[in-house]
């Protein structure tokens, strides 16, 4: 038995090919699909944004995903160990960079997940839909620290319970339930939204591209969202790849994962925009689209239907968030288990507690603590937005550096050798040529440019570029 396979048997691994695909798809599917994708599409041209987004997934994101899974499987270790063993010396710090990015993403991500969990409870079992002003309610809600503390804490505890059970019994088993459940709820909500008055206008906005919708701004944000949506550049897929057996077809798996993630984002838009247009609201509402505008739509449905539909919608968001928080927590936990040889359960609970504490400034930054709400940084007025901006930068730069690592250190030929394992037809195929060109040229060039633009956007602004 190869050394890495022996190591995997001690660390645990996915029990089936579909288990890995569902878990990896769950890692990719999250708030970025249900919350962030619709509001970015709404503010950046609708169908034009969707068209560019799909191109970005194919040309940019799938090759990066293939590379990350292959690196993880080749070594059978966490992100730090994978880069260190393949590259030697200081390359391990690239893996550590991704691990730290995941830690900080989870710190604020759990706060937003707590918002969604709170809204689910308030709509399904409370009186939220009787509120006269949802904008005012949301502003008060994110500053009501008592309930939010326990909403976010409960979400983190549930995440830790699942991750502590291990790969097959915890992460894989949870995703086998949540991913099908997520699709069922999503499809049900789409069917309902398409029956609403003026739903056709929302469908037209979302699916019928207009050339004047495609601008430099559209392309930029579509690139960013595609990369963010698939959880690339932060060690998640390297870590999950380390639990994959050698009979897994990595290229096929990456394609299926990308399709699953993209389908959720696509279906989320197909659900959201008919709801928005049925209300007579503008689609370009930004982040408040979900918590304010759609809540108004649920209120207009009446007390019973609104409670059912609104509750189902925020339960959907909770499912999507949980599949991502699980993978985000697994990344630092795997590092400590692999590199420090610590037992899984205490590690998981210790890391979960630390990350929850790291997220408290994000929780307090929505008005409760003035200093945290008024950071002197362009486009990042509060601490939560600031951490989110830094993590966006880390994801893009992490993916970019991974491509350079494969090209100049590990070498593309070694990548091809790993991809041929479990895929007898890969060698000499069109897929090999596609991966070769993408990893060698397309991804490094585009991600280098994108990394520079993302940094400028977060700290300087790109008004000079977007006009």
| pLDDT above 80 (res 396) | yes
Q: Please compute Rg for the chain using Cα positions.
A: 21
- CATH code (residue 231): 1.10.4160
pLDDT tens column, 51-110: 999 999 998 999 999 999 999 999 999 999 999 999 988 999 999 999 999 999 999 999
pLDDT tens column, 175-204: 999 999 999 999 999 999 999 999 999 999
Q: Is 350 helix (H, G, I), strand (E, B) or coil?
A: helix
Please indicate, yes or no, if residue 8 is contained in any of the structural domains. no
Q: Number of C-alpha atoms within 13 angstroms, CB side, residue 373?
A: 11
For residue 377, which phi and psi values (nearest 5 degrees)? Answer: -130, 130
pLDDT for 227 equals: 83
Please indicate, yes or no, if residue 7 is contained in any of the structural domains. no
With 0-12 CB in 10 A as exposed, 13-18 as middle and 19+ as buried, what is 367?
Answer: middle
| pLDDT above 60 (res 324) | yes
Residue 11 binned pLDDT confidence (cut-offs 50, 70, 90): low
pLDDT for 30 equals: 85
Question: Is-above-0.95 flag for pTM?
Answer: no
Please indicate, yes or no, if residue 77 is contained in any of the structural domains. yes
Task: Give the pLDDT mean for 29-45.
Answer: 86
What does the alpha-carbon distance between residue 293 and residue 271 come to, in Å, rounded to a whole number? 14
Please indicate, yes or no, if residue 1 is contained in any of the structural domains. no
Higher pLDDT, 23 or 212: 23
Angle at which helices 383-405 and 79-87 pack, to 10 degrees? 30
Cα 404 to Cα 397, 415, 438, 443, distances in angstroms:
11, 13, 12, 9
Please say whether the beta carbons of 102 and 332 come within 8 A: yes
The number of folded domains in the chain is 1
Higher pLDDT, 252 or 378: 252
pLDDT tens column, 421-440: 999 999 999 999 999 999 99
Residue 467 binned pLDDT confidence (cut-offs 50, 70, 90): low
pLDDT tens column, 155-175: 999 999 999 999 999 999 999
| pLDDT above 90 (res 13) | no
Percent of the chain surpassing pLDDT 70? 96
Quote the domain boundaries for residue 201.
Answer: 16-466
Percent of the chain surpassing pLDDT 90? 74
Residue 383 binned pLDDT confidence (cut-offs 50, 70, 90): very high
Q: How many CB atoms lie within 10 A of CB 125?
A: 10
pLDDT for 286 equals: 64
pLDDT for 465 equals: 83
Residue 7 binned pLDDT confidence (cut-offs 50, 70, 90): very low
Cα 406 to Cα 238, 242, 401, distances in angstroms:
13, 17, 9
pLDDT for 369 equals: 87
Please say whether the beta carbons of 327 and 240 come within 8 A: yes
Cα 410 to Cα 82, 417, 455, distances in angstroms:
11, 11, 27
| pLDDT above 70 (res 1) | no
Task: Give the pLDDT mean for 311-316.
Answer: 92
pLDDT tens column, 114-144: 999 999 999 999 999 999 999 899 989 998 8
pLDDT tens column, 274-296: 988 988 877 776 667 788 888 98
pLDDT for 267 equals: 94
For every residue of 162-195, DSSP letters joined together read: HHHT-IIIIIIHHHHHHHHHHHHHHHHHHHHHTT
Please indicate, yes or no, if residue 352 is contained in any of the structural domains. yes
Residue 402 binned pLDDT confidence (cut-offs 50, 70, 90): very high
Please indicate, yes or no, if residue 65 is contained in any of the structural domains. yes
Task: Give the pLDDT mean for 359-365.
Answer: 95
| pLDDT above 60 (res 358) | yes
pLDDT for 45 equals: 86
Please indicate, yes or no, if residue 279 is contained in any of the structural domains. yes
| pLDDT above 90 (res 258) | yes
Please indicate, yes or no, if residue 10 is contained in any of the structural domains. no
Please say whether the beta carbons of 14 and 217 come within 8 A: no
| pLDDT above 70 (res 374) | yes
| pLDDT above 70 (res 10) | no
């Amino acid at each position: 038995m190869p050394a890495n396979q022996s190591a995997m048997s001690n660390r645990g691994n996915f029990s089936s090919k579909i288990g890995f695909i569902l878990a990896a798809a769950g890692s990719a599917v999250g708030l970025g699909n249900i919350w962030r994708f619709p509001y970015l599409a709404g503010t950046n041209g609708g169908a034009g944004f969707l068209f560019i987004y799909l191109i970005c997934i194919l040309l940019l994101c799938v090759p990066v995903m293939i590379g990350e899974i292959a690196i993880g499987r080749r070594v059978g270790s966490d992100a730090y160990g994978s880069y260190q063993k393949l590259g030697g010396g200081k390359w391990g710090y690239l893996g550590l960079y991704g691990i730290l990015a995941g830690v900080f993403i989870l710190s604020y991500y759990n706060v937003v997940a707590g918002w969604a969990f709170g809204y689910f409870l308030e709509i399904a079992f409370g009186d939220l839909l009787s509120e006269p002003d949802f904008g005012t309610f949301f502003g008060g809600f994110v500053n009501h620290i008592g309930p939010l503390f326990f909403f976010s804490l409960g979400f983190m505890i549930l995440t830790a319970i699942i991750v502590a059970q291990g790969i097959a019994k915890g992460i894989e088993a949870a995703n086998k339930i949540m991913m099908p459940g997520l699709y069922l709820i999503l499809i049900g909500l789409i069917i309902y939204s398409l029956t609403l008055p003026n739903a056709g206008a929302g469908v037209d906005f979302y699916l019928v591209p207009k050339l004047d919708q495609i601008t430099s701004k559209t392309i930029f944000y579509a690139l960013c969202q595609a990369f963010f949506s698939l959880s690339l550049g932060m060690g998640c897929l390297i870590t999950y790849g380390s639990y994959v057996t050698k009979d897994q077809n990595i290229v096929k798996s990456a394609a299926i994962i990308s399709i699953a993630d993209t389908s959720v984002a696509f279906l989320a838009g197909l659900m959201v925009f008919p709801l928005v247009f049925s209300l007579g609201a503008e689609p370009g509402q930004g982040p408040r689209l979900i918590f304010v505008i759609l809540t108004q739509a649920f209120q207009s449905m009446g007390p019973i239907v609104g409670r059912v539909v609104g509750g189902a919608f925020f339960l959907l968001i909770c499912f999507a968030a949980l599949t991502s928080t699980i993978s985000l927590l697994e990344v630092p936990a795997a590092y400590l288990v692999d590199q420090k040889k610590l037992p899984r359960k205490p590690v998981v609970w210790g890391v979960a507690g630390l990350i929850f504490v790291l997220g408290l400034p994000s929780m307090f930054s929505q008005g409760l603590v003035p200093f945290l709400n008024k950071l002197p940084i362009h486009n990042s007025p509060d601490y939560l937005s600031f951490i989110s901006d830094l993590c966006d930068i880390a994801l893009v730069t992490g993916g970019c550096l991974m491509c350079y690592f494969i090209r100049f250190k590990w070498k593309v030929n070694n990548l091809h050798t790993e991809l041929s394992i479990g895929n007898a037809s890969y060698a000499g195929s069109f897929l090999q040529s596609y991966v070769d060109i993408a990893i060698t040229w397309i991804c490094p060039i585009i991600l280098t440019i994108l990394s520079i633009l993302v940094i400028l956007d977060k700290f300087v602004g790109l008004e000079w570029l977007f006009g």
